[in-house]
Amino acid sequence: DSVAIFAQSTEGGIPNTIDITVNGAIVGGSNNGKGIWVDGGLNNAVVVGASGSVSAASNTAIFYTGGGELVVGNYGSVTGSVLIDGSTFTNYGTYNVGDASSVEGYFTQDAAGTLTFNFGTSTLPRLTVQYDTNLYGTVRPIVSGWLLPIANAVIAPGPGAAVYNYYAATPSTPIFGWNYAQPEPFGTFYMTPFATFASAAGGLDANEQSAAAYLQGQWNAANPNLAGFFAALYSGIDTP
């Protein structure tokens, strides 16, 4: 239940502004633990510097209470939920949402920012954002042990909110790449991997091309018995 940083300004008339700058590793505890908890204050700000990181075993990285405002700017690394009571979180660095995180407020990713998530079998959104999302920069799936052409819900907006995708970049390899889609305009943002074994085999001998065609067929069929193999193959190829 530990809180790595707790800052409060609630007493005596007009509350003071709380400004926190993080240039090291901040790690909160499990259960009700938090990386940073700000209570009260007015026009507050948390800035995670390029060498800074914020996370918690509970998955609550940054938490705000008090009815004012807490603007968060990340130039380093934030892992987990950012619960800031309707304020704005802007990612200029790396924001890792893992299997399931949320932003209680507005989320903007700058062109320099990267959003990472765990790609897998779960049908739950990896990131739920209360209000609007403006997505620039890069979205990078983390592949570990399982890869098939199955869509993952990456960002889901809250009721009445929208996800605006400004052509966020995705990683690619000589064989694998990623497509994104929003079946409903400005709705949930999905990503699905694709593979081009057959076209990548151009110039190889007949046996190699036959093997590539077999793998392409198994990929297209989403053969669950080869999900681990495809994940290992993906992870063994450098991505930009």
Confidence category of residue 7, pLDDT binned at 50, 70, 90: very high
Give the pLDDT confidence of 32-82 residue by residue, as tens digits. Answer: 999 999 999 999 999 999 999 999 999 999 999 988 899 999 999 999 999
Q: Determine how many CB atoms are found less than 10 A away from the CB of residue 88.
A: 19
More confident residue, 200 or 121: 121
Give the pLDDT confidence of 169-218 residue by residue, as tens digits. Answer: 999 988 999 999 999 999 999 999 999 998 776 677 888 889 999 999 99
Q: Determine how many CB atoms are found less than 10 A away from the CB of residue 85.
A: 16
Confidence category of residue 147, pLDDT binned at 50, 70, 90: very high
Query: In angstroms, what is the C-alpha Rg of the chain?
Result: 21
Residue 114 near residue 96, CB atoms below 8 Å = no
Structure-token pair, residue 117: 């998530």
pLDDT at 166 over 70: yes
Beta strand 189-195 with 176-181: parallel, antiparallel or unpaired? antiparallel
pLDDT at 240 over 80: no
pLDDT at 16 over 60: yes
pLDDT, residue 79, reads 98
Closest CA to 240 of 165, 194, 174, 193: 174
Measured in residues, the chain has a length of 240
pLDDT, residue 187, reads 98
CA 133 – CA 131 distance, rounded (Å): 7
The predicted model gives 88-98 an average pLDDT of 98
Residue 24 near residue 8, CB atoms below 8 Å = no
CA 133 – CA 235 distance, rounded (Å): 29
For every residue of 167-220, DSSP letters joined together read: --B----SSEEEEEE-SSTT--EEEEEEE-HHHHTTTS-HHHHHHHHHHHHHHH
DSSP secondary-structure letter at 31?
T
Counting residues of the chain whose pLDDT is more than 70, the rounded percentage is 96
Counting residues of the chain whose pLDDT is more than 90, the rounded percentage is 88
The predicted model gives 6-11 an average pLDDT of 88
pLDDT, residue 238, reads 47
CA distances from 33 to 12, 29, 96, 170 (A): 28, 4, 18, 33
Structure-token pair, residue 83: 């619960």
Q: In a 3-state reduction of DSSP, which class is residue 229?
A: helix
Structure-token pair, residue 93: 């660095």
Q: Determine how many CB atoms are found less than 10 A away from the CB of residue 43.
A: 13
pLDDT, residue 149, reads 98
The rounded Cα 214 to chain-centroid distance in angstroms is 33
